[in-house]
């Protein structure tokens, strides 16, 4: 409900428009920059750092960048790493709702071996019924060439963004993570696809441990969240209802590729997990000194915090173990969920240090003014019920585990992260790990999963 309230405020402020059927003359760069500056002065969390006389002769993208309180690890460690702007507001809104032009294959790129210029793609997962899935791509596949050109540090961006059909040449990988080039080719064409972020779930039982496992890729309420769809939230409720019927007493939540999304979905999911009541606060949000008085006057103090929801499918009362699988791509709403649950239960993290995004953004467009751009500025800082927000450098895992180059299907106990989580819950190894688990040397560049939620560590953009 608070998301709808905030959208209403933005509409009154002239930042958003529901008049999509109106024909409006395109705005000039100068008009666009005036719109950017006006909204940033009002909403931007660090609005007091905006230059007094910014250079309005810049192009909109550069002008937006010139207003930011830029992060620097040494001189400004609490600065902005996350605000961004896109030339197409429609594409921005679609990406935040899990819709994008894609082959349906998410992957990471690595320099292999580390220190070389050779680039290799490793498939993280494919979307059901997507071009990539129909072509036979699956989690763990390796590709070394696109359109018969070997991937390198200088050409991978252009090759991945090439128009038309893409022909991938696959390689092979052994149990030690050593990659060998191959000759098998698969061709796919990009389409506009809507991703269902609730990707996989299953149940395990080891003695008295009844364990639910769920893979969740992005916090999105439904396929058309702007219009109020909650189909994906409801799908999660159905899965947790199944877990509750099975009397699960442990949960493994896989957020390793989840870069964030809607806070409303984070609240909904946390309400299915925590041993909480509807009177407990999930998180607090802090705005700048300009907008705070206006919001408080209109909506009261309760606008600045979100409480847990009552869910009949909640498993918190029976839960003795919660393990969250993380990586450096686990960000924003993923970290908000971890931070919000910590005051109410023990949260064990397995994987890598999370990204460190303890701030929140809103989508601002100006379609009613003929402005095609859309921006996603940081407007809040997030705290849990204990007013803790100490994860700007990420959450450190209880057990640091790397998935490496050799990937296994979701649910396989050979997966290093899942295996470690199951072992921590059961108190003993669930399967013998081969000495070949030591992975070959590689250096990760980035992944397509970071791009979905607007992550600043995306490695390419068209």
Per-residue pLDDT reduced to its tens digit, 295-307: 999 999 999 999 9
The CATH number for 182's domain is: 2.30.42.10
At which residue do the structure tokens 């949960």 appear?
A: 251
Residues 6+ apart with CB under 8 A from 293: none
Whether residues 117 and 265 fall in one domain: no
Q: So what's the pLDDT on residue 437? A: 45
* 8 A C-beta contact, residue 264 and residue 309: no
What band does 462 get if pLDDT is binned at 50, 70 and 90? very low
84, part of any domain: yes
* Nearest Cα to Cα of residue 310 among 337, 280, 339: 280
Q: Of 53, 79, 94, which residue sits at a domain end?
A: 94
Whether residues 404 and 330 fall in one domain: yes
Spell out the long-range contacts of 384-388 with Cβ–Cβ below 8 A and sequence spacing 24 or more. 384/281, 384/282, 384/283, 384/284, 384/339, 384/340, 384/342, 384/343, 385/280, 385/281, 385/282, 385/283, 385/284, 385/340, 385/343, 385/344, 386/343, 387/284, 388/339, 388/342, 388/343
Whether residues 162 and 24 fall in one domain: no
Q: So what's the pLDDT on residue 315? A: 98
Q: Average pLDDT over the chain, rounded to whole?
A: 90
* Nearest Cα to Cα of residue 324 among 257, 262, 388: 257
Whether residues 319 and 409 fall in one domain: yes
CA dist 115 and 227 (Å) reads: 47
User: Terminus-to-terminus CA distance in the chain, angstroms?
Assistant: 34
235, part of any domain: yes
Question: pTM for this one?
Answer: 0.88
Domain range spanning residue 448?
A: 99-193+441-452
Helices (H), 154-274: 156-160, 231-245, 263-273
Q: So what's the pLDDT on residue 172? A: 96
pLDDT digits (tens, 9 = 90+) for 243-277: 999 999 999 999 999 999 899 999 999 999 999 99
368, part of any domain: no
Beta strands at 371-376 and 364-366: parallel, antiparallel or unpaired: antiparallel
Whether residues 123 and 74 fall in one domain: no
415, part of any domain: yes
Whether residues 136 and 221 fall in one domain: no
Whether residues 271 and 334 fall in one domain: yes
Report the percent of the chain where pLDDT is more than 90.
81
pLDDT digits (tens, 9 = 90+) for 421-453: 999 999 999 876 544 444 668 899 999 987 665
At which residue do the structure tokens 């750092």 appear?
A: 49
Residues 6+ apart with CB under 8 A from 47: 40, 41, 288, 290
Whether residues 335 and 247 fall in one domain: yes
Whether residues 205 and 334 fall in one domain: yes
28, part of any domain: yes
Whether residues 118 and 186 fall in one domain: yes
Q: What would the two tokens of residue 312 be?
A: 């009949």
Whether the per-residue pLDDT at 15 is higher than 80: the answer is no
CA dist 392 and 358 (Å) reads: 6
CA dist 416 and 418 (Å) reads: 6
Phi/psi of residue 383, nearest 5 degrees: -135, 150
pLDDT digits (tens, 9 = 90+) for 74-110: 999 999 999 999 998 888 877 777 678 899 999 999 9
Whether residues 176 and 224 fall in one domain: no
Q: Of 79, 94, 109, which residue sits at a domain end?
A: 94
371, part of any domain: no
Q: So what's the pLDDT on residue 440? A: 65
The DSSP 8-state label assigned to residue 197 in this structure reads S
* 8 A C-beta contact, residue 288 and residue 242: no
462, part of any domain: no
At which residue do the structure tokens 């696809």 appear?
A: 193
Report the domain count for the chain: 3
Q: Of 71, 94, 117, which residue sits at a domain end?
A: 94
Whether the per-residue pLDDT at 347 is higher than 90: the answer is yes
170, part of any domain: yes
* 8 A C-beta contact, residue 300 and residue 370: no
Whether residues 26 and 43 fall in one domain: yes
């Amino acid at each position: 409900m608070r998301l709808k309230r905030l959208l209403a405020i933005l509409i009154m402020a002239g930042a958003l428009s529901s008049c999509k059927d109106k024909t409006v003359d395109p705005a000039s760069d100068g008009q666009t920059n005036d719109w950017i500056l006006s909204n940033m002065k009002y909403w931007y969390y660090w609005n007091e750092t905006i230059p007094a006389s910014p250079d309005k002769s810049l192009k909109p993208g550069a002008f937006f960048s010139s207003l930011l309180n830029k992060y620097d690890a040494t001189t400004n460690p609490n600065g902005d790493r996350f605000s961004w702007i896109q030339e197409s507001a429609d594409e921005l809104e679609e990406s935040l709702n899990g819709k994008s032009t894609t082959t349906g294959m998410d992957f990471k790129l690595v320099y292999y071996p580390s220190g070389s210029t050779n680039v290799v793609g490793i498939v993280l997962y494919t979307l059901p019924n997507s071009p990539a899935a129909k072509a036979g791509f699956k989690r763990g596949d390796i590709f070394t060439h696109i359109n018969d050109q070997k991937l390198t540090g200088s050409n991978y961006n252009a090759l991945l963004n090439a128009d038309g059909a893409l022909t991938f040449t696959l390689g092979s990988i052994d149990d030690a993570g050593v990659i060998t080039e191959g000759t098998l080719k698969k061709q796919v064409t990009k389409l506009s696809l809507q991703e269902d972020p609730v990707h996989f779930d299953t149940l395990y039982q080891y003695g008295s441990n009844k364990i639910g496992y769920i893979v969740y890729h992005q916090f999105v309420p439904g396929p058309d969240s702007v219009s109020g769809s909650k189909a994906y939230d409801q799908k999660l409720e159905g899965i947790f209802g199944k877990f509750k019927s099975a009397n699960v007493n442990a949960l493994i939540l896989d957020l390793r590729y989840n870069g964030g999304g809607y806070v409303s979905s984070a609240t909904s999911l946390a309400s299915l997990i925590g041993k909480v009541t509807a009177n407990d606060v999930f998180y607090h949000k802090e705005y700048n000194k300009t907008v705070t008085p206006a919001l408080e006057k209109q909506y009261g103090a309760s606008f600045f915090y979100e409480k847990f929801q009552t869910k009949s499918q909640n498993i918190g009362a029976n839960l003795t173990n919660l393990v969250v699988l993380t990586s450096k791509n686990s960000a924003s709403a993923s970290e908000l969920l971890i931070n919000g649950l910590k005051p109410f239960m023990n949260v064990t993290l397995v994987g890598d240090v999370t990204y460190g995004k303890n701030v929140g953004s809103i989508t601002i467009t100006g379609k009613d003014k003929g402005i095609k751009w859309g921006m996603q500025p940081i407007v809040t800082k997030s705290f849990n019920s204990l007013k803790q927000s100490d994860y700007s450098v990420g959450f450190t895992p209880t057990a640091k585990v790397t998935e490496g180059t050799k990937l296994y299907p979701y649910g396989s106990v050979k997966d290093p992260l899942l295996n470690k989580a199951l072992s921590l819950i059961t108190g003993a190894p669930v399967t013998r790990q081969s000495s070949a688990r030591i992975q070959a040397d590689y250096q990760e560049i980035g992944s397509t999963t970071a791009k979905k939620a607007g992550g600043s560590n995306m490695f390419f953009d068209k």
